[in-house]
Amino acid sequence: MIKRKPSKNPQQKLIRKLDSVFSTYIRMRDADSNGFIRCCTCGRIAFWKESDCGHYHGRQYMSTRWDESNCHAQCRQCNRFNEGEKAAYKEFLIKKYGQEAADLLEVKRRLTRRWHRFELEAMIVLYKEELKKIEAKPMQD
């Protein structure tokens, strides 16, 4: 993992914190009751802590960065080393949400989005609450 210099910009700190909470949420959302995910692009099984929050449209697109339909659990091989397996990811999105939703996500990606501090803070609170709900569910034996 690459260590980054601490930012003096409070907005950047919030973005990093939201990225972390959101990534955990997506991977846990997509995990089964035993904590295992199936990669959305190759089908490989991995424990949620050993997987990534893969983005169909990369994190540089702020309008889709924290869009739940743009983000799914993905194995590290596909996400980090195979550039997200975009063709397989698109097939997954169409199968899961339909062509219209995939097209809408493409349009949304092109929108310019600047997040305000209060929005980032609110999303951090929201996804922390969602994580509590997931953690409260009983695990299967």
In a domain, 140, yes or no: no
Residue 94 inside a domain? The answer is: yes
Number of domains making up the chain: 1
Query: pTM surpassing 0.75?
Result: yes
141: in domain: no
117 burial via Cβ count (<10 Å: 0-12, 13-18, 19+): exposed
Q: Which domain holds residue 95?
A: 11-126
**Rounded Cα–Cα distance for residues 4 and 36 (Å):** 29
Look at residue 106 and tell me if it is in a domain: yes
How sure is the predictor about 6, in pLDDT bands with cuts at 50, 70 and 90? low
Residue 18, in any domain of the structure:
yes
**In the predicted model, what is the mean pLDDT of residues 68-92?**
95
Q: Give 58: exposed, middle or buried? Use CB within 10 Å, 0-12, 13-18, 19+.
A: middle
pLDDT, position 141: 43
